[in-house]
């Protein structure tokens, strides 16, 4: 399984064979890749700088397993506890942004850099104090998050002694050299040292023994520990290898340290590769191996020794490995991650301040699931919105599927499926992670966006967002972050805060009626250029998302066409009140209009009445003629007054009556709106989200 890998030196050179070592096999589990994905998406993004990660290795595996350096999800938390009876290794992660830079990365240089750090730690004595400095590793990765393929190349840098490590006595199992008493004494001594150090495993230690006792100590205590033992010293290493002839990789840097420190003062060194297995409840260290080697001194002035350590790939050659996690992932979770990815990529470089959570967590209620509703729903899905509810009691007809992108021909058969249900089901088919429902009513939503189509014109607008009723008088501003414009007072059409904006019906001088009655065919159905609904639907959602990015949300001051040259108020740009589009000119304008105090939908009189009477009020509206709402709101009176004012005005030549001007201004505005064929309420679509 693992192949024993020696130094480049010929092992016959000095008459003694050279020691060979079992390299680490990297063991990067799915949790590691999952965590890397999350880090890359949310934290590293385009940052390619080196990151500190942590792995561990174990000396208690069954005989068949290779020596593994394991990285799991906890690898990114350098303060995470190392699993019991395992030794930590501190690594450096180089996660590249592109496969190209992964491939072209200078691996020789990375290895040399790591080797040098180890060499410096050896020379300075830091490695004596903190032997984990000898346990370095490198990990070069490229995460192709589009396909869930992870390319990686692992390296455990090992410094090489120039002459290799001549073996004086070949390795034998510990029970060939130690008595049972000695073995038990070793276990006890090791356990006590660990306990003293507050760990459950020690990578390197020193051993002294005689027939009756075994003593162990820390590396840094060498001089004291071995002061009475000038010739024979034993070094212990926590050994992940299971081979009876070969120690694992961690010994290598320890030997270099030893050669550097004590190569001069000792002819040979005994090495105990401590292996500590528990099989069926029985602890067993007898398969540990022990042998004797020579180490030539490495002078303080020496250059950093040559280093090796890049792992071979599965084919046994020098090259990276690849793991394809898409195959073992749940397709639905894969879809969710992929959708997330596309969104998070926006935050990497383009809009780092984008608050995706505000968008993704929005709950959206779609009133209507026709040409506009379908396009709106699809755009919401694109933005990662997961909670979408449809209200529409129509059935799907044959002309729908080519313009209503949630339906197909089959949905039209047998009289047609109910739209709301079919739309909700289609969303599930597109993306199983969505929670799509149908509804017959609607609860309170915080932001209302609506779209309406003419033949080649559209309006997309946010409705004015009223202040909560109790705050209108008295202690306002306590909850809602009103902008300074609010306090300063707003001029006619600039700096109008959200709560002063009109709703869709503020532009109407008559109450809305049943627009499906008494209409010719081309008025009954959406006779519009087919691209129009897609454009208006998409803009509705984009407007909603922009508003959600504004710190004041629906209360944000409305942007107008004039603001196009100014610094935008959100990371995504402007937050207009209305977008009115003219397809024949490929043009959009951004008008702003104030709430109309006689609006048949949002004026105080209507809201008061609704608050008092609830559904009874609605029933009254539905069952009576237009004039009911017009009388209630004062529209009827306004019409009469306007006519009277016109008469007075004509009689007076040029009128300076401010009331008259106000009224005319109002009506001119309203008529101007009506000149654009957007006022057809059958084609109106609303999304409401919070």
Using CB under 8 A, which residues numbered 132 to 191 contact a second copy? 144-147
From the list 154-162, 233-241, 335-343, 681-689, the region that binds a second copy by CB under 8 A is 335-343
Check residue 248 and give left, alpha or beta (phi > 0: left; psi -120 to 50: alpha). Answer: beta
**Residue 625 within binding range of a second copy, rule CB under 8 A:** no
Provide the minimum distance between the beta carbon of 120 and a second copy in the complex, in angstroms, as a whole number: 34
Nearer to a second copy, 106 or 518 (CB): 518
Nearer to a second copy, 518 or 653 (CB): 518
Query: Do 122 and 241 touch, CB atoms closer than 8 A?
Result: no
Please give the angle made by the CA atoms of 643, 645 and 648, to the nearest 5 degrees.
115
Provide the minimum distance between the beta carbon of 496 and a second copy in the complex, in angstroms, as a whole number: 17
Task: Using the CB atoms, write b or e for 520-557: b if 16+ within 10 Å.
Answer: eeeeebbebeeebbbbbbbbbbbbbbbbbbbebbbbbb
> What does the block give as tokens for 66?
């290779």
> What does the block give as tokens for 135?
């346990």
Catalytically annotated residue among 525, 602, 660, 678: 525
**Residue 264 within binding range of a second copy, rule CB under 8 A:** no
Provide the minimum distance between the beta carbon of 149 and a second copy in the complex, in angstroms, as a whole number: 11
**Residue 342 within binding range of a second copy, rule CB under 8 A:** yes
From the list 178-186, 302-310, 371-379, 648-656, the region that binds a second copy by CB under 8 A is 371-379
Q: Which of residues 21-60 bind a second copy (CB under 8 A)?
A: 46
Nearer to a second copy, 232 or 529 (CB): 529
Nearer to a second copy, 293 or 381 (CB): 381
Provide the minimum distance between the beta carbon of 159 and a second copy in the complex, in angstroms, as a whole number: 34
> What does the block give as tokens for 457?
């014109």
Nearer to a second copy, 73 or 431 (CB): 431
Verify whether residue 525 is a known catalytic residue.
Answer: yes
- With CB under 8 A as the rule, give the number of residues binding a second copy: 89
**Residue 676 within binding range of a second copy, rule CB under 8 A:** no
CA 176 distance to own-chain centroid: 56
> What does the block give as tokens for 20?
């060979």
Nearer to a second copy, 144 or 284 (CB): 144
Three-class secondary structure of residue 86 per DSSP: strand
Q: Which of residues 542-601 bind a second copy (CB under 8 A)?
A: 542-543, 545, 564, 568, 572-574, 576, 579, 583-588, 590
Options 109, 299, 350, 675; binder of a second copy; rule CB under 8 A:
350
Provide the minimum distance between the beta carbon of 16 and a second copy in the complex, in angstroms, as a whole number: 50
Q: Which of residues 501-530 bind a second copy (CB under 8 A)?
A: 517-522, 524-527, 529-530
Nearer to a second copy, 519 or 652 (CB): 519
Provide the minimum distance between the beta carbon of 500 and a second copy in the complex, in angstroms, as a whole number: 21
- Rounded Cα–Cα distance for residues 158 and 108 (Å): 13
Say what the alpha-carbon torsion angle 341, 344, 348, 353 is, to the nearest 10 degrees: 180
**Residue 320 within binding range of a second copy, rule CB under 8 A:** no
Give every strand in the sheet of 167-173, ordered side by side. Answer: 167-173, 289-294, 268-274, 234-238, 204-209, 214-217
Provide the minimum distance between the beta carbon of 257 and a second copy in the complex, in angstroms, as a whole number: 40
**Residue 640 within binding range of a second copy, rule CB under 8 A:** no
Nearer to a second copy, 156 or 383 (CB): 383
CA 549 distance to own-chain centroid: 18
| Composition of the chain by helix, strand, coil, percent to 5 | 40, 20, 40
Q: Which of residues 372-401 bind a second copy (CB under 8 A)?
A: 375, 378-379, 381-384, 397-399, 401
Options 402, 619, 647, 672; binder of a second copy; rule CB under 8 A:
402
- Rounded Cα–Cα distance for residues 135 and 203 (Å): 9
Options 532, 558, 601, 688; binder of a second copy; rule CB under 8 A:
532
- Rounded Cα–Cα distance for residues 250 and 557 (Å): 64
Q: Which of residues 406-425 bind a second copy (CB under 8 A)?
A: 407-410, 412-413
Options 30, 335, 510, 667; binder of a second copy; rule CB under 8 A:
335
Query: Do 246 and 15 touch, CB atoms closer than 8 A?
Result: no
Three-class secondary structure of residue 221 per DSSP: helix
Options 73, 222, 262, 431; binder of a second copy; rule CB under 8 A:
431
**Residue 355 within binding range of a second copy, rule CB under 8 A:** no
Q: Which of residues 645-674 bind a second copy (CB under 8 A)?
A: none
**Residue 429 within binding range of a second copy, rule CB under 8 A:** yes
> Does an H or E element contain 333, and which?
helix 331-348
Options 4, 194, 199, 351; binder of a second copy; rule CB under 8 A:
351
From the list 283-291, 501-509, 541-549, 620-628, the region that binds a second copy by CB under 8 A is 541-549
Of the candidates 133, 152, 91, 138, the one whose C-alpha atom is nearest the C-alpha of residue 110 is 138
Options 31, 531, 551, 665; binder of a second copy; rule CB under 8 A:
531
Q: Which of residues 450-469 bind a second copy (CB under 8 A)?
A: 455-456
> Does an H or E element contain 522, and which?
helix 521-524
Nearer to a second copy, 10 or 104 (CB): 104
Nearer to a second copy, 286 or 397 (CB): 397
From the list 280-288, 299-307, 346-354, 603-611, the region that binds a second copy by CB under 8 A is 346-354
**Residue 435 within binding range of a second copy, rule CB under 8 A:** no
- Rounded Cα–Cα distance for residues 653 and 114 (Å): 92
Nearer to a second copy, 564 or 648 (CB): 564
- Rounded Cα–Cα distance for residues 596 and 500 (Å): 9
- Rounded Cα–Cα distance for residues 499 and 557 (Å): 9
**Residue 449 within binding range of a second copy, rule CB under 8 A:** no
- Rounded Cα–Cα distance for residues 554 and 589 (Å): 20
Provide the minimum distance between the beta carbon of 604 and a second copy in the complex, in angstroms, as a whole number: 31
Provide the minimum distance between the beta carbon of 138 and a second copy in the complex, in angstroms, as a whole number: 22
Of the candidates 331, 398, 326, the one whose C-alpha atom is nearest the C-alpha of residue 150 is 326
- Rounded Cα–Cα distance for residues 589 and 562 (Å): 10
Say what the alpha-carbon torsion angle 425, 430, 431, 432 is, to the nearest 10 degrees: 40
- Rounded Cα–Cα distance for residues 292 and 275 (Å): 17
Provide the minimum distance between the beta carbon of 394 and a second copy in the complex, in angstroms, as a whole number: 11
Nearer to a second copy, 551 or 614 (CB): 551
Nearer to a second copy, 538 or 664 (CB): 538
Options 13, 43, 100, 224; binder of a second copy; rule CB under 8 A:
100
From the list 120-128, 156-164, 462-470, 531-539, the region that binds a second copy by CB under 8 A is 531-539
Options 257, 339, 506, 678; binder of a second copy; rule CB under 8 A:
339
Three-class secondary structure of residue 326 per DSSP: helix
Q: Could you tell me the CA-to-CA distances from 506 to 500, 541, 602, 603, 690 in Å, in that order?
A: 11, 22, 8, 8, 22
> What does the block give as tokens for 436?
């799509």
Rounded to 10 deg, the angle between the 371-382 and 530-549 helix axes is: 40
- Rounded Cα–Cα distance for residues 337 and 148 (Å): 10
Q: Phi, psi (5° rounding) for residue 92?
A: -120, 125
**Residues taking part in catalysis:** 525
């Amino acid at each position: 399984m693992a192949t024993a890998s020696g130094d480049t030196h010929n092992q016959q050179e000095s008459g003694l064979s050279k020691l060979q070592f079992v390299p680490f096999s990297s063991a990067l589990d799915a949790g590691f890749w999952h965590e890397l994905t999350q880090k890359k998406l949310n934290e590293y993004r385009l940052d390619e700088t080196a990151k500190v990660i942590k792995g561990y290795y174990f000396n208690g595996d069954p005989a068949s397993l290779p020596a593994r350096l394991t990285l799991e999800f906890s690898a990114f938390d350098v303060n995470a506890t190392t699993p019991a009876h395992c030794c930590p290794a501190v690594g450096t992660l180089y996660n590249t942004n592109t496969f190209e830079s992964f491939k072209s990365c200078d691996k020789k240089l990375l290895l040399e850099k790591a080797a040098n750090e180890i060499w410096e730690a050896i020379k300075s004595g830091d490695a004596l104090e903190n032997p984990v400095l000898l346990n370095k590793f490198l990990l070069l990765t490229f995460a192709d998050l589009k396909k869930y393929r992870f390319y990686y190349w692992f390296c455990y840098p090992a410094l090489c002694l120039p002459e290799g490590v001549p073996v004086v006595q070949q390795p034998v199992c510990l029970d060939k050299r130690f008595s049972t008493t000695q073995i038990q004494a070793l276990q006890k001594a090791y356990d006590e040292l660990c306990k003293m150090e507050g760990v459950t495993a020690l990578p390197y230690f020193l051993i002294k023994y005689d027939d009756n006792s075994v003593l162990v100590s820390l590396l840094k205590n060498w001089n004291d520990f071995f002061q009475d033992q000038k010739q024979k010293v034993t070094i212990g290493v926590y050994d992940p290898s299971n081979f009876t002839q070969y120690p694992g990789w961690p010994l290598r840097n320890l030997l270099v340290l030893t050669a550097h420190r004590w190569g001069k003062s000792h002819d040979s060194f005994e090495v105990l590769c401590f292996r500590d297995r528990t099989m069926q409840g029985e602890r067993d260290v007898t398969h540990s191996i022990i042998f004797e080697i020579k180490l030539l001194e490495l002078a303080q002035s020496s250059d950093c020794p040559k280093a090796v350590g890049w792992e071979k790939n599965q084919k046994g050659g020098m090259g990276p490995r690849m793991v394809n996690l898409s195959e073992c992932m749940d397709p639905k979770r894969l879809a969710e991650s992929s959708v997330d990815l596309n969104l998070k990529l926006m935050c990497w470089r383009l809009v780092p301040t984008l608050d995706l959570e505000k968008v993704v967590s929005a709950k959206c209620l779609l009133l209507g699931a026709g040409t506009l509703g379908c396009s709106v729903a699809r755009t919401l899905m694109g933005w990662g919105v997961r909670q979408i509810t449809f209200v529409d009691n129509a059935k799907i007809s044959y002309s729908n599927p080519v313009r209503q992108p949630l339906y197909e021909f089959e949905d039209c058969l047998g009289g047609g499926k109910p739209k709301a249900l079919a739309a909700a089901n289609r969303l599930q088919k597109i993306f199983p992670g969505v929670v799509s429902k149908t509804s017959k009513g609607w609860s309170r939503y915080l932001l209302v966006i609506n779209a309406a189509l003419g033949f080649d014109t559209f309006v997309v607008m946010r409705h004015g967002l009223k202040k909560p009723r109790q705050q209108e008088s008295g202690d306002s501003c306590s909850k809602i972050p009103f902008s300074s414009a609010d306090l300063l007072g707003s001029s006619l059409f600039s700096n109008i805060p959200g709560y002063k904006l009109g709703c869709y019906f503020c532009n109407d001088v008559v109450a809305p009626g049943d627009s499906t009655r008494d209409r010719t065919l081309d008025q009954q159905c959406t006779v519009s250029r087919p691209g129009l609904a897609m454009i208006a639907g998409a803009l509705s959602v984009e407007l909603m998302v922009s508003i959600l990015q504004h710190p004041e949300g629906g209360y944000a001051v409305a942007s107008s066409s004039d603001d196009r040259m100014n610094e935008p108020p959100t990371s995504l740009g402007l937050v207009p009140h209305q977008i009115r589009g003219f397809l024949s000119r490929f043009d959009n304008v951004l008008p702003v209009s104030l709430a109309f105090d006689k609006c048949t939908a949002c004026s105080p009189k209507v809201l008061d009445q609704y608050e008092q009477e609830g559904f009874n009020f609605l029933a009254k509206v539905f069952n009576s003629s237009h004039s009911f709402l017009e009388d209630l709101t004062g529209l009827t009176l306004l019409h009469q007054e306007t006519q009277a004012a016109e008469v007075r005005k004509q009689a007076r030549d040029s009128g300076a009556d401010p009331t008259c001007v106000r009224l005319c201004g109002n009506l001119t505005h309203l008529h101007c709106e009506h000149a654009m064929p957007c006022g057809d309420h059958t084609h109106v679509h609303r999304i409401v989200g919070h």
